[in-house]
Amino acid sequence: MTQIDKQEIHKVAHLARLEMTEAEEEEFSNQVSELLDYVEQLQELDTDNVQPTAHIMDMRNIARADKHASYPHRDDLLDSAPEQEGEFFKVPKIL
């Protein structure tokens, strides 16, 4: 069992500029120790015949081809906008 003591948690918190109470240091000490124990368990697994993957499921980008299409009610759509400038929507600047 890997044990991380409060002094190590305090040192890392200081380096990260985090303020922690004694209770938080104790809690994180236990949590980090449990996490390291779990990592040790994972290292015991035989992964020799396991292919490296980025995702557990096959990921593919399924996208339709971009096709230009005219909108038959374009003028109605523009008329419903709060503001328009010529044949475009007029929107406030965001930058």
Q: Is residue 80 part of a domain?
A: no
**pLDDT above 70 (res 1):** no
Q: Is residue 11 part of a domain?
A: yes
CATH number at residue 35: 1.10.20
pLDDT band at 11 (very low <50, low <70, confident <90, very high): very high
Instruction: Quickly count: other Cβ atoms within 10 Å of residue 2's Cβ.
Output: 12
pLDDT in tens, 36-52: 999 999 999 998 998 88
At residue 76, the pLDDT reads 87
Q: Is residue 39 part of a domain?
A: yes
Q: Is residue 78 part of a domain?
A: no
* Residue range(s) defining the domain that contains residue 30: 6-43
Distance from the Cα of residue 36 to its chain's centroid: 22
**pLDDT above 70 (res 14):** yes
Q: Is residue 30 part of a domain?
A: yes
**pLDDT above 70 (res 9):** yes
Q: Is residue 74 part of a domain?
A: no
Count: domains in the chain: 1
